[in-house]
Every structure is written in C-alpha cells, then in structure tokens.
Amino acid sequence: MAKDVLCEVNNCKYWAQGNQCSAEQIYVISHSGKQASDQKETDCKTFDPAGM
C-alpha cells in the first residue's frame, strides 16, 4: 500500500500541505468501464496496466 498519496488540487478539502491527500480512502475510476488500457482512460496518474 502507498504511504503517501499526492494531490495537486489545492482547492480539494482533502488537500494538505506538501501536496498530500488527507482522505481516508481513494476512489479511482476508469472512463471505459471496469478496465482501462492506459493512464488516459483513468483519473489515476500512476495507473499501470496489470499483466503487461
């Protein structure tokens, strides 16, 4: 599990100093259903397809 979750959206209520995310959980989505082919199809900058 990630220790640090970064956030560059400083007007989010979970944004904390140092671009840290203070939310208790993170929700990542795919714009193309349950699977994504690449990062552009998600709202996750660290997306890396499994098994590739």
For 22-52, the pLDDT digits (tens) are 999 999 999 989 999 999 999 988 898 898 6
pLDDT at 12: 95
Query: Which amino acid is present at 20?
Result: Q
Residue 39 carries which DSSP code?
Answer: G
CA distance 3 to 10: 20
pTM beyond 0.75: the answer is no
CA distance 8 to 15: 8
pLDDT at 51: 84
pLDDT at 52: 64
